[in-house]
Amino acid sequence: MPNPKRKHSKQRRDKRRTHDKAVVPTLGTCQNCGAAIQYHRVCPECGFYKGKPAIKKEVAA
């Protein structure tokens, strides 16, 4: 296995790792209730996905 002849600098190492950063998920609004949701996910507030009920949510009474 080849080994490096010289030590790579911290700057060079960090440049290589720039694409591994965590990114904030893109948020949209629910068409049914207007809550902030991630794209391609069921709304946690009302249970709708693309304007149709996907899961049954119990209403707090």
Looking up tokens 């068409």 gives 31
Q: Is residue 60 scored above 80 in pLDDT?
A: no
What pLDDT, on a 0 to 100 scale, did the predictor assign at position 24? 84
Question: Which pair of tokens denotes residue 3?
Answer: 């080994």
The residues facing 40 across adjacent strands are none
What pLDDT, on a 0 to 100 scale, did the predictor assign at position 23? 81
- Report the distance separating Cα 16 and Cα 23, nearest Å: 17
What pLDDT, on a 0 to 100 scale, did the predictor assign at position 25? 85
Global model pTM greater than 0.75:
no
The 10s digit of each residue's pLDDT in 7-57 is: 999 999 999 888 877 788 899 999 999 999 999 999 999 999 998 999 887
